[in-house]
Amino acid sequence: MDYVATCKLPTPWAVFSLHAFVSPESGKEHVAMTLGDLSTTEPVLARVHSECLTGDALFSQRCDCGAQLEAALQAIAAEGRGVLLYLRQEGRGIGLVNKIRAYSLQDEGADTVEANVRLGFPADMRRYDVCRPMLEHFGVTQLRLMTNNPRKVDALRENGIEVVARVPLQVNRNRYNEGYLQTKAAKMGHWFNLADLPENP
């Protein structure tokens, strides 16, 4: 990963630093948002967030990505220290157009895993090998990772990143994403306890 540049990024919750990286292999542009001093030995509160244009920017209620992104940034701001890696792997790695094709199949009754499989994709094509060089750039070696996804914890550990704790991120259950969250829990092993999750109006 090649580090390129840093700017200030004011948000409603804190003024973060936004750092740009480019992967020389894929040409993909990734960013990291950081807050506070990450060079100390204390494990860093972290989120590894994969791009979801519909959820992060277009207010989609089909998934929980936008709410997770917001909650993660709020948690980092509240702690005054942390890092969010924003990885450009839309739609669990299948890209925006294919994600919309998968949503179209879901409108006809398929669940999120079946739709990907019917389009000829694995349920999850995300990769996390860019994370370690990005974290190393900031001197971060130990994470307290905000996620509900056990495979993400495993994938980061396989990439040599020490995840010392998992912080649950259970936000934005609503009537449109109930089935999606249940599929993630049942078929993808996500740690959800829907009974514990408050329903948004």
**155 backbone φψ class: left, alpha, beta (φ>0; ψ -120 to 50):** alpha
Active site residue 126: yes
For Zn ion, the closer of residues 176 and 193 by Cβ is: 176
Segment near Zn ion (CB under 5 A); pick from 5-13, 58-66, 73-81, 131-139: 58-66
Q: C-beta of 112: minimal distance to Zn ion in Å?
A: 10
Among positions 31, 44, 45, 63, the unique one binding Zn ion when judged by CB under 5 A:
63
Among positions 14, 35, 65, 76, the unique one binding Zn ion when judged by CB under 5 A:
65
Distances (CA, A) of 33 to 39, 69, 87, 168: 15, 11, 11, 20
Q: Site map for Zn ion, 33-52, x if CB under 5 A?
A: -------------------x
- 147 is an annotated ligand-binding site residue: yes
Active site residue 56: no
Question: If we measure between CA atoms, which residue out of 148, 128, 124, 46 comes closest to residue 87?
Answer: 128
Who's near 57: CB < 8 A, 6+ residues apart? 66
Beta-sheet strands, E only, within the chain: 2-10, 15-22, 29-35, 44-50, 82-87, 142-146, 162-167
Q: Is 182 helix (H, G, I), strand (E, B) or coil?
A: helix
- 81 is an annotated ligand-binding site residue: no
How far apart, in whole angstroms, are the C-alpha atoms of residue 76 and residue 80? Answer: 6
Among positions 21, 44, 55, 92, the unique one binding Zn ion when judged by CB under 5 A:
55
For Zn ion, the closer of residues 96 and 164 by Cβ is: 96
Task: Could you list the residues known to form a binding site for Zn(2+), using ranges.
Answer: 52, 63, 65
Per CB under 5 A, residues contacting Zn ion are 52, 55, 63, 65
